[in-house]
Amino acid sequence: MVDFTIHDESSAPQESGDVLRQARKEFGMLPKIFGVMAESPPELKGYLSLDALLKETTLTTDEQYVVLMAVSSENRCNYCVAAHTGEAKQAGVDDAIIQAIRTGGALPDGKLEALRAFAVAVVRKRGHLPEEDIAAFLSAGYEKANILEVILAVGMKTISNYTNHIADTPLDEAMEPFRWAPAETS
């Protein structure tokens, strides 16, 4: 296994150092995933750019976290599920929504459940969705633009989920209370 350095502002390539300083200001800490990504300034910048763009979508805060957590859970990313759990709680997302995603259950809100199911289908089927999946999503009250916004979030999470898998990024201390492991599959 490749041993990745978890960079900080002083050890990162110069182009990543400024980005890490800004991330520390914005997040109040420097998440270890950003320290890993700093090895490649374009990856770090790309991920943070996608994160900023996701916030510009028409998806509500709750909807954004449903997608981020559902994709990370489907991709079995312990780091991202823990991180997004903490962020979602801080953003005021209902605990029932958070716990349902963490445990693989259906969400208590039908529209959010349709969003969760759609995001998982995009990942599982690698974007080759049958018309029924798209129709179910749209009939739940979403629009065509939301399909593309989910794809944006899937792309963003693919970058971080795969980076965490390959780098085996350890959890940050602040995320420990939200530690997560995927349910065993048979």
Write down the pLDDT at residue 2: 81
Round to whole Å and give the CA distance between 157 and 154: 5
Which residue type does 60 have?
T
HEC profile of 135-158:
HHHHHCCCCHHHHHHHHHHHHHHH
pLDDT of residue 1: 66
| CA dihedral for 43, 125, 2, 180, sign (positive or negative) | positive
Phi then psi dihedrals of residue 97, to 5 deg: -70, -50
Q: What is the pLDDT of residue 186?
A: 45
- Which of 89, 121, 118 minimizes the C-alpha distance to 102? 89
Q: Cα dist. 114→22, 35, 52, 111 in Å?
A: 35, 34, 24, 5
Residue numbers of the chain with a pLDDT score lower than 50: 186
- Please report the domains of the chain, with CATH numbers, ordered by start residue: 1-56 (1.20.5), 59-178 (1.20.1290.10)
Q: Record the pTM.
A: 0.95
